[in-house]
Each structure stands twice: as C-alpha cells, then as structure tokens.
C-alpha cells in the first residue's frame, strides 16, 4: 500500500471541508483583527482567536465525518474494500490524516494570534492562552474520534456528527455525577492538571478509534431511524442538561427566609459580631443545619443606623462607611457599632470632602444611640475631591485608613474609643494587578501600623492594595489573604480569572510576592456571574468565596498549583448583596429581587436571606 497516495487522496477529499472549517474558525479572529486595525492597534487578534478555539471540537467532528463519508457509501465501500489493502491500516491512516488536518485547523487561530500579535508588538498572553488552548484540543481529539467511529458505523454524515457530539457531551458531563471527586470543569479537566479526567477523554478517544477499525473491518453497519435518533438525542440532551446544571449549580440551599422590606434601596449587609451574624444592623441571624431565623433587636419603628441620619443638609452631604453595614463590637452585654461619617459639599461636579468622623453607636432600648466620636478630618490630605476609607478591627484595635493616612484606635471600651496612633501620608494607594505582575516578582509596601501583628499587617497591606470594588470601601472584616502553615497567599479576582499570588518573604518595609497560578472563568460562569471583579470576595479557611450579582462561586485555594472550584450557586432572578461564612461553615447570603413596574422603572419587591450548604 503506497501511503503517500492515500494521504494525498485524503487531503484532496477533505479540501473543501477544511476550507469551510478554516473559514468558520478564522471568522472571529479576522474580524477582531480588522476592528483592531481600524482602531489603529494593528491587524492582530488575541481574544477572538482564543474564543474561536472553543469551536474546534465541533469542527473536528465535522472533519471526522467528512473524512470517511466519501468511502462509506454502499457501492464505493465495495470499490476500495475489494482492493488488497488491510482495512485496519487504511482506516488508521485515514483517521490520523484527518486528525492532523483537524488539529491544523484548530492551530490556525493560535498561529494567527501568535504571529499577528508578535508583528503588532502586542502581549499575547493576555488572556493567557495556556488556560484556554489545552482543553478544547483534548476535547477536539475526542469529538473527532467519536464522530469518526460513529460515521464508520452509521455511514451518514449528519447523524454521525449528531451522535458523536451527544456522546462527547455525555462523556464530558457524566464523570461529574460519579463519585470520582470531579468538581471543577476547568481545573479538574485542563490547565496543568493531567489527571484522571483528561486521561478518560483520551481513553474514550482511543476506544472510539479502535472501535472504528473493528467496525470497518467487520463491515458493521448500524441502520439508524431518524425519529428514534431524535428521541434518543433529546433524551440524552435532557439528561446532560440535568447533569450539567447539577455540576454548575451544586450548592444546596438549606433554607431561605423572606425579609420584610422596610427601608427601600439599601445594600442588605451581613456583618458579624463574635461569630454571630447581624443582618442589616437590625437582627441577629440564628441558624442551624436546616433553617434560619431572624432575631430582631432594633424596633420596627426605628429606621436603622444608616437610615436615621440625614444625608443632606443644605449643600452638605453625608457619606457613611462602611456603606453596607458597620463594624460591631461587644462590651459585656452592650453592642456597639463603629462607623465613619464623611461630609462633603458639591462644587461643580466634584465632591469636596471637608470633615470625617469615627462615630460609635450603642444599642439602647431597641435603637442606636450615638455614644462618642473622633474627629479624623486632618486625615483628609491631598486632593480634596477623592476619598477612600478602609477599616479593620483586630481584637481591640481598630485601624482606620483614610486616603494615604491611618489612625489606630483602641476600642477596648467601645464606648470610649481612644486614638493611639496616627500617621499622615504614609500609605500607598490602590493598584491594579497587571499582566506584567504575573511575570516577575514584585513588592507591596507594608503598612507601618506597629500596634498589630506582622500577619495582620501583611493582610491589611495586601487588602489595601488589591482589594477594592465599586463601593471603594469594602475592607473591613474579611480579607483576600489566606494564611496556612505560616505561608501567605492572596487571590485577586479579575473579569477573566481568579489568580493566586504567593508571598515569598517580607521585611520591615515591603512584602515580596509572585504569581503562582490562575483559574479562568468558564463561559457559563462569566455569563451567570456578570462580573465578579466588582463584587465581594473573601478567603476563609482555605476557601475563596466570590459573588457576582446573582452567582456565588466557592473555590478551594489551598493547593499552590491550582485553584479548584468546589461549588456554584446561581439565582438568575436576584441580586446578591452580601455574604457571610458561619462558624459551622455554612454560607449566608442576602439578596433582593427586583422587578420592573408597569412604567418600566425598576423597583424592589422582595429580599431574602439564604442559608447555603458549603460544598464538600
């Protein structure tokens, strides 16, 4: 058998299919490149090239079907089979030629991205190709093999492709239902994990290939009934949807409690005092393994700590930090809340900040009564139209960061907070992590707060630097830093992924860090989560909790090599406001439903507190 002639024949046989697949897969990258060129950024594509690779499993299946379809029609089948060639060898040759061509089609967007970005001097690894490329390639090999096997058996291009894709989908989803420990379709399947799951996919591919050889050798021909196939396909799709949705949304709701709406638009905060959650500064949340109840300590007639204050007096406006709650402190049976108030006036379109106070309120007879205040207005240095406030309560020490200054307050007696330190203009500001920061070691200035431990200083420094959201003031009780066996790691969340940075060492002035790994969001996570970067993230006991507008994701972050998703909670019809991790590891979420009124103006209708089971 002359191999070259067979290879030539296969390439010729597939040329139109290859061109069609190439056109399909290159459409998005070329469009992006054209748009980039029009925008003056040069003819290059990265994002769409990566997106196009995701379609390669579908196209690989098409190529597989086209690869043998020409040989399997009844009469042509007799034509080549009557030749003195080993059917297995011939089919194997066809298989591998087609596979190479399918992978070549897959490689085109990658090559285009590499070459075009190099020519335009663009940074190729953003988004990082290594996250996205291996998974579709492995899956493409499987879809190719399955479609090839199906076509040898069924001998009908469309039906074979359909059956092959259904089988591939089933293979991808089914292991998540088995007790094999699969949780995360990204980190368990691909990235650098070369574990059981990708091995399973490859085994299935090899099995499909071997099956195809035997089916061809023994002239197995399954005559399919279109109606039966459609029913079976629908059933399988339904089963896969169930399996997949259970994989995607696998966090169990233990209880949900509708809360009476009292105060209109407010972020519904969940804070904690001595491990006990407080909802919206009004009620304790009591919970056990199966239900939650709210124990109200503020009278219904009382509007609540943030609501009772007038927000505007003439041209003077009040802002409250934290906007979604407060820092609570107990002294004996008394409950206090510590809040920052700033006052600004409007000048043209700018806010000019003039005054800043730390105020404490005491729970007295079902309402909050102001107990004391500290004037922190001298921290308002530098530009007056910008303010960032952060607070952290560590035992009896409250650190208040205002712009680039900080104040340390002793709150051993929360009724009488005592300022014990103040340093102006010693902090550095917020900084975004850029791609370059993943390539090299970098340092973060250590906050010069001497009254807290080194561990707390490192955590505060990292949080101050990299933890921020649309509220500008979310650094309070929780942190994005994980401390385990004396090692520090932190987990910033971007729109594309969750990254892990390890703290390598620190000295009196700086903390030195380096990128360790990242776990990109899947398309589905991206779709359901809106954007995780603008919302709240926290790390507790080796787990990263990250919520978007209607999604909560839980990741296992203890491994230094990979971040693994453990759970996913989705409520498409609600907006998650806040979360809190309970002592028994269950999760509390506060969320609200918003529905449009007849006039189209959005208005709030309901709010809920959810008790969720922390995934295993």
Partner 1 sequence: MTESAIKIEGLHFSYGKRHVLKGVDLEVPKGSIFGFLGRNGAGKTTTIKTLLGLQKPHAGRCLVGGLDSVTETLEVRRRIGFMAEDQQMYGWMTVDRIIKWVAGFYPNWDDKFVDELAEVLVLPKDAKVKALSKGQNSSLALLLALGHRPDIVILDDPTLGLDPIARKDFLRHVIELLQSNGVTVFFSSHLLYEIEPVADHIAILNDGVIIKACRTEQLRESVRKFALTPAPGANFSQVPGILDVLTVGDNVSIALEDCDQAKRAALKEMSANGMTETALNLDEIFEAYVIGNRGRKLSAH
Q: Rule CB under 8 A: is residue 83 a binding residue for partner 1? A: yes
Handedness of CA 213, 217, 218, 220 (dihedral sign): positive
User: Of 229, 57, 83, which Cα lies nearest the Cα of 156?
Assistant: 229
- In the complex with partner 1, the residue whose CB is nearer, 95 or 501, is 95
Residue from 40, 84, 228, 486 binding partner 1 (CB under 8 A): 84
Which residues lie below 8 Å from residue 365, measured CB to CB, with a gap of 6+?
Answer: none
List C-alpha distances in Å: 538 to 71, 115, 578, 610: 58, 39, 11, 18
Cβ at position 90, least distance to partner 1 in Å:
9
- In the complex with partner 1, the residue whose CB is nearer, 8 or 345, is 8
The alpha-helical segments, DSSP class H, found in 385-472 are: 454-466
Per-residue x/- track, 19-58, partner 1 (CB under 8 A):
----------------------------------------
Cβ at position 11, least distance to partner 1 in Å:
12
d(CA 66, CA 206): 19
Q: Rule CB under 8 A: is residue 342 a binding residue for partner 1? A: no
Could you give the 3-state DSSP secondary structure of residue 603?
strand
Residue from 5, 179, 265, 332 binding partner 1 (CB under 8 A): 5
CB contact at 8 A, 11 and 38: no
Kindly state the helix (H) or strand (E) to which residue 339 belongs, with its residue range: strand 334-347
d(CA 373, CA 416): 9
Q: What is the separation, in whole angstroms, between the first and last Cα of the chain?
A: 57
- In the complex with partner 1, the residue whose CB is nearer, 73 or 381, is 73
Per-residue x/- track, 210-249, partner 1 (CB under 8 A):
---------x------------------------------
Which range of residues in 74-82, 137-145, 300-308, 592-600 is near partner 1 by CB under 8 A? 74-82
Q: Rule CB under 8 A: is residue 75 a binding residue for partner 1? A: yes
Cβ at position 226, least distance to partner 1 in Å:
22
Cβ at position 107, least distance to partner 1 in Å:
26
Cβ at position 137, least distance to partner 1 in Å:
30
Cβ at position 23, least distance to partner 1 in Å:
19
Residue from 51, 81, 239, 267 binding partner 1 (CB under 8 A): 81
Q: Rule CB under 8 A: is residue 106 a binding residue for partner 1? A: no
By CB under 8 A, the count of residues binding partner 1 is: 22
Q: Rule CB under 8 A: is residue 73 a binding residue for partner 1? A: yes
Q: Rule CB under 8 A: is residue 530 a binding residue for partner 1? A: no
- In the complex with partner 1, the residue whose CB is nearer, 62 or 191, is 62
Q: Rule CB under 8 A: is residue 254 a binding residue for partner 1? A: no
List C-alpha distances in Å: 455 to 138, 420, 506, 512, 545: 43, 20, 11, 14, 21
Neighbour-count burial of 235, counting CB atoms closer than 10 A to its CB (0-12 exposed, 13-18 middle, 19+ buried): exposed
Could you give the 3-state DSSP secondary structure of residue 515?
strand
Which range of residues in 80-88, 235-243, 392-400, 506-514 is near partner 1 by CB under 8 A? 80-88
Cβ at position 6, least distance to partner 1 in Å:
6
Neighbour-count burial of 355, counting CB atoms closer than 10 A to its CB (0-12 exposed, 13-18 middle, 19+ buried): middle
Max Cα–Cα distance, the chain, nearest Å:
98
Which range of residues in 28-36, 67-75, 505-513, 587-595 is near partner 1 by CB under 8 A? 67-75
List C-alpha distances in Å: 242 to 113, 234, 235, 550: 36, 12, 11, 20
CB contact at 8 A, 561 and 489: no
Q: Rule CB under 8 A: is residue 6 a binding residue for partner 1? A: yes
Residue from 40, 78, 223, 600 binding partner 1 (CB under 8 A): 78
Cβ at position 156, least distance to partner 1 in Å:
16
Measured in whole angstroms, the distance separating CA 184 from the mean position of its chain's CA atoms is 12
CB contact at 8 A, 260 and 584: no
> Which chain residues interact with partner 1 by CB under 8 A?
1-2, 4-6, 8-9, 12-13, 70, 73, 75-76, 78-79, 81-86, 219
């Amino acid at each position: 058998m002359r191999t070259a002639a067979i290879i030539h024949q296969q390439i010729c046989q597939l040329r139109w299919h290859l061109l069609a697949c190439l056109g399909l897969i290159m459409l998005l990258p070329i469009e992006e490149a054209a748009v980039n060129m029009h925008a003056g950024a040069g003819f290059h594509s990265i994002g769409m090239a990566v997106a196009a690779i995701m379609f390669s499993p579908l196209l690989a299946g098409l190529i597989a079907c086209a690869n043998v379809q020409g040989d399997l029609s009844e009469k042509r089948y007799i034509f080549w089979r009557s030749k003195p060639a080993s059917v297995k060898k011939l089919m194997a040759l066809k298989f591998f030629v087609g596979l190479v061509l399918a992978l070549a089609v897959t490689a085109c967007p990658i090559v285009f991205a590499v070459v075009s970005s190099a020519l335009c001097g663009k940074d190729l690894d953003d988004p990082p190709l290594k996250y996205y490329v291996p998974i579709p390639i492995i899956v493409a090999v499987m879809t190719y093999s399955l479609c090839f096997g199906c076509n040898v058996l069924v001998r009908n291009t469309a039906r074979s492709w359909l059956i092959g894709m259904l089988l591939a989908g089933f293979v991808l989803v089914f292991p998540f239902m088995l007790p094999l420990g699969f949780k995360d379709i990204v980190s368990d399947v691909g990235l650098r994990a070369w574990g059981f799951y990708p091995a399973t996919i490859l085994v299935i591919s090899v099995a499909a290939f071997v099956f195809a050889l035997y089916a061809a050798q023994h002239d197995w021909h399954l005559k399919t009934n279109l109606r039966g196939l459609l029913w079976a396909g629908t059933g399988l799709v339904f089963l896969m949807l169930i399996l997949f949705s259970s994989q995607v949304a696998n966090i169990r709701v233990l209880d949900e409690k509708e809360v009476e709406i009292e105060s209109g638009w407010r972020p519904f905060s969940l804070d904690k005092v001595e491990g006990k959650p407080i909802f919206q500064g009004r009620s304790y949340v009591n919970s056990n393994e199966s239900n939650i109840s709210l124990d109200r300590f503020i009278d219904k007639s009382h509007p609540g700590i943030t609501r009772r204050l007038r927000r505007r007096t003439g041209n003077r406006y009040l802002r409250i930090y934290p906007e979604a709650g407060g820092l609570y402190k107990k002294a004996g049976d008394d409950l206090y809340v510590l809040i920052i108030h700033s006052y600004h006036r409007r000048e043209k379109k700018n806010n000019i900040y003039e005054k800043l106070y730390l105020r404490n309120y005491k729970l007295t007879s079902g309402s909050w009564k102001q107990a004391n205040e500290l004037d922190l207005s001298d921290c308002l240095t530098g530009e007056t139209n910008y303010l960032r406030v952060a607070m952290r309560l560590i035992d009896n020490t409250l650190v208040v960061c205002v712009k680039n200054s900080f104040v340390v307050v002793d709150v051993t007696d929360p009724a009488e907070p005592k300022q014990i330190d103040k340093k102006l203009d010693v902090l550095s500001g917020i900084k975004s992590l850029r791609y370059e920061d993943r390539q090299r070691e970098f340092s973060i200035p250590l906050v010069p707060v001497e009254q807290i431990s080194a561990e707390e200083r490192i955590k505060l420094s990292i949080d101050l630097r990299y933890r921020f959201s649309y509220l500008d003031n979310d650094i309070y009780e929780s942190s994005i830093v994980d401390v385990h066996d004396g090692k520090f790691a932190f987990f910033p969340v971007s729109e594309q992924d969750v990254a892990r940075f390890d703290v390598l060492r620190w000295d009196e002035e700086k903390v030195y860090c380096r990128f360790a790994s990242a776990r990109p969001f899947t398309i589905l996570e991206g779709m359901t989560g809106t954007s995780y970067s603008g919302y709240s993230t926290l790390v507790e006991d080796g787990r990263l909790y990250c919520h978007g507008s209607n999604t909560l994701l839980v990741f296992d972050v203890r491994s230094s090599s990979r971040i693994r998703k453990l759970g996913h909670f989705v409520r498409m019809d609600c907006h998650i406001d806040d979360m809190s991790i309970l002592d028994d590891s269950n999760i509390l979420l506060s969320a609200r439903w918003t529905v449009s009124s007849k006039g189209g103006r959005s208005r709030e209708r309901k709010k809920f507190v959810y008790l969720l089971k922390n995934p295993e």
